[in-house]
């Protein structure tokens, strides 16, 4: 597969099993081969990687070849996270966001509207008002999905509906659409052996920059204080942003509730109730 997509012969069998798998080309270059079963998933990821790369900010692995179900990217040798790399990452992330997007919900150029975040469907429907767009396309669809999968009780959906009704007052000042990675948990942050961070597995779209930062905080990130310091140094966040973190975390928590069940649903409920108590 790697040979067909890159036009270069492969030496030996893949290192490890499953997807992604590491493969060595005959020239000695090591690459990652990844398969996606869902139609459009490879197209969305490739378009997202290229859109992020076009910002010339945070680095991403180069796409070396792809078809409908497979993609080949360069392999990133990884090292240990460090405070200086974290500071540069925060600055570069601010630059990525500042590269912007045409509209909220805008997919990357050549990317499908019906995309994915992890294994969950994610529809990139453009909008202009962030509170309304976030409610309609990033919170309520996953509330319904969590109810359908019995991760949430039907009556619990009302908690999220009340948060959505209050989003205009909870969201903070309006900002232009940012160019988001969209699935920025620490597993998608690779600390390169060369001291530079690369981002993988994007769910890229136009959105609110605080959403990427909130997801980074939700699942932890090495040297997060330095990442945030670098970000604030390059592009200060609007006042009161720490109080809005939970609102932005509702999206990834509800996605996880749909995919993984009740534990994440309970966490989302706690976050939602805390937001209502403000």
Assess if residue 42 is contained within a domain: no
23 assigned to some structural domain: no
Q: Is the dihedral of CA 246, 248, 252, 253 positive or negative?
A: positive
How far is residue 232's CA from residue 247's CA, in Å, rounded to a whole number? 20
Q: Is residue 189 part of a domain?
A: yes
Task: Give the tokens for residue 71.
Answer: 């993609």
- pLDDT of 6: 67
Q: Average pLDDT by consecutive 10-residue portion of the chain (278 residues)?
A: 71 63 83 85 96 98 90 93 97 98 97 95 96 98 98 98 98 96 97 96 98 96 97 97 97 98 98 95
Is-contact 181 203, C-beta < 8 A?
yes
Check residue 16 and give its pLDDT. Answer: 54
Take residue 182 and report the two structure tokens written for it: 């969209």
Whether residue 18 is contained in a domain is answered as no
Q: Is 17 within a domain?
A: no
CATH code of the domain in which 170 resides: 3.90.1200.10
Question: In the chain, how many H helices and how many E strands?
Answer: 10, 11
Is residue 67 annotated as part of the catalytic site, yes or no?
Answer: no
Residue 276, number of CB atoms within 10 A of its CB: 13
What pLDDT shows up at residue 17? 53
Q: Which of 95, 148, 183, 212 is catalytic?
A: 183
Q: pTM for the full model?
A: 0.94
In the prediction, which pLDDT does 75 show?
93
The answer to the question of residue 252 being in a domain is: yes
Distance CA 200, CA 36 (A): 15
Please tell me the predicted confidence (pLDDT) of residue 5: 64
- Does residue 49 lie in a domain region? no
Q: Has residue 16 been placed in a domain?
A: no
Number of folded domains that form the chain: 1
Spatial contact of 127 and 133, defined as CB atoms under 8 Å apart: yes
228's CB contacts (< 8 A; 6+ apart) are 90, 213
Q: 13 Cβ partners below 8 Å, 6+ apart?
A: none
The pLDDT value given to residue 246: 97
In angstroms, rounded to a whole number, what is the distance separating the alpha carbons of residues 263 and 81?
Answer: 29
């Amino acid at each position: 597969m790697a040979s067909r997509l890159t036009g270069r012969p492969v030496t030996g069998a893949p290192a490890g099993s499953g997807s992604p798998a590491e493969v060595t080309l005959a020239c000695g270059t090591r690459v990652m081969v990844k398969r996606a079963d869902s139609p459009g998933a490879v197209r969305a990821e490739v378009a997202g990687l290229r859109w992020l790369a076009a910002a010339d900010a945070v680095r991403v692995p180069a796409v070396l070849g792809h078809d409908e179900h497979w993609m080949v990217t360069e392999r990133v040798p990884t090292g240990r996270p460090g405070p200086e790399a974290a500071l540069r990452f925060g600055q570069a992330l601010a630059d990525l966001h500042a590269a912007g997007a045409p509209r909220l919900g805008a997919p990357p150029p050549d990317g499908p509207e019906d995309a994915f975040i992890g294994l969950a469907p994610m529809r990139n429907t453009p909008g202009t008002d962030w509170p309304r767009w976030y409610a309609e396309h990033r919170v309520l669809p996953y509330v319904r999905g969590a109810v359908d999968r019995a991760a949430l009780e039907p009556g619990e959906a009302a908690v999220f509906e009340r948060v959505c009704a209050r989003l205009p007052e909870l969201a903070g000042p309006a900002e232009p659409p940012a160019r988001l990675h969209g699935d920025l948990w620490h597993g998608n942050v690779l600390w390169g052996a060369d001291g530079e961070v690369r981002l993988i597995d994007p769910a890229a779209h136009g959105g609110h920059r605080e959403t990427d930062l909130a997801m980074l905080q939700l699942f932890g990130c090495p040297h997060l204080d330095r990442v945030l310091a670098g970000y604030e140094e390059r592009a200060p966040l609007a006042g009161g942003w720490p109080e809005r973190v939970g609102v932005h975390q509702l999206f990834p928590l509800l996605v996880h509730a749909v995919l993984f069940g009740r534990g994440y649903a309970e966490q989302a409920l706690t976050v939602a109730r805390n937001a209502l108590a403000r």
